[in-house]
Amino acid sequence: MLTINGRIRVRRTRWHCPEEGACTLTDRYLDEAESTVSQGARELICRLNQSSASFRKTSDNLKRAAQIESNAETIRQLVETEGKEVLRAFSQEAIQPDWKARECRVESGKTRVYVSCDGVKVPLVTDDEKKTRRKKVREKRRRKGRKCKPLPRAKQGSDNAWKEFRLVAHYDETQSHCHVSVTRGNHEAAGRLMARDAKAVHLQEADERIANVDGAPWIRSQLELHGTVEHIGLDFYHLSEYVHAARRDTFGEDDADGSDWADEMMHKLKHEGYSAAWQMAINLRQSASGSGLATVDRLLGYMSERREMIRYPEFIARGWQIGSGPIEAQCKTTTSRVKGSGKRWDGPNAEAVMALSCLENSRLWQNYWLSADPAAN
């Protein structure tokens, strides 16, 4: 077996008559099969790429692991194409989560599913960078002094070097069941993902449907719009950041009284609720000045706008989580392949690579590749 640029070719003996020639249907079908990368090779390439820092590194690992030679550009095209197929399969409901809400039981005997959503920044190629690259290619061609094939039609780049992508996650108490989706669309696209994935896991069948999210208004509005959850809570860590910012600007970084105030403030939020913590912040405002006063006002504004989401005593009494750690972890793992020094992407390609990470994090990797293998159907 020979492998050239990722394409698997098999040496076969072909029989024919010198006078009449030959036409064998089997040879024709085999030729078509050999002109593409096999399903097994595609899966291996995508799997190796998940933990690689670059497509060049994936190429090196592929050669070492499976003696398949393929250049970095071929691998890039293959991985991005496969990621787009994953996105298409999810959008058309061709592949479904392998768990349902009715399976997510807790010690009380009830079923419980959490929903979370967050935005994450992804590095993209700007339109100016694309124009600069194209100009350099043209100059290089002119220096060669020979006729070259016309450049492909220019694609428009991003208007910003960083764009917010959005992740949606459904998971149970222990995260033994988890389903993650990504979109490069706006908040409305994220809302549609919430509704689609809620339907896929039969979320309405859960006895308890809880959202733990940060304070972004668009997340709350989409959750309320689609009505997939009954209870929305504000992530405890995000609120603590505002509390500690007020502590630092009012008391100083290492002030013991400031640390005691922050500890008591967080204790009241967790165990006594909004009103007791609000009064503490009001009392601090009366003695604050300058930058400290401005920061305390930001804390009060943040709390006031999210009053209905600050329900920590109730959540704790019911045994519900008060943090959005699972979605924060997903933001890190799904972007690990697209972030890094010098990395820049076209939006659709970044979304495709992140979709493969979502597939893996949703524990649907094997399901997808089995469905993609005609022999398994």
Q: Which two tokens stand for residue 111?
A: 């079923």
Element (H, E) at 117: strand 112-123
Q: For CA atoms 103, 111, 354, 348, give the dihedral sign.
A: positive
Single out the residue of 222, 164, 215 nearest to residue 198, CA to CA: 222
Q: Is 124 left (phi over 0), alpha (psi -120 to 50) or beta?
A: beta
Pairing of strands 208-213, 112-123: parallel
CA distance 141 to 282: 68
pTM: 0.86
Give residue 146's pLDDT: 74
Give residue 42's pLDDT: 93
Q: Is 290 left (phi over 0), alpha (psi -120 to 50) or beta?
A: left
CA distance 193 to 129: 31
First to last CA, the chain: 27
CA distance 294 to 23: 83
What is the residue-level pLDDT of the chain in tens, covering all 377 positions?
334 344 444 444 555 555 555 555 544 544 444 456 788 999 999 999 999 999 999 999 999 999 989 999 999 999 999 999 999 999 999 999 999 999 999 999 999 999 999 999 999 999 999 899 888 888 888 888 777 888 888 888 999 999 999 999 999 999 999 999 999 999 999 999 999 999 999 999 999 999 999 999 999 999 999 999 999 999 999 999 999 999 999 999 999 999 999 999 999 999 999 999 999 999 999 999 999 999 999 999 999 999 999 999 999 999 999 999 999 999 999 999 999 988 999 999 999 999 999 999 999 999 999 887 655 55
**Which residues, including other chains, have CB under 8 Å from residue 136's CB and lie 6 or more apart?**
none
Give residue 32's pLDDT: 45
CA distance 71 to 59: 6
DSSP 8-state secondary structure symbol assigned to residue 338: T
Single out the residue of 249, 203, 255, 257 nearest to residue 230, CA to CA: 203
Give residue 31's pLDDT: 47
Query: Domain ranges in the chain?
Result: 2-93, 101-142+155-232+335-346, 237-314
Give residue 23's pLDDT: 52
Give residue 373's pLDDT: 65
Q: What SS3 state is found at 148?
A: coil
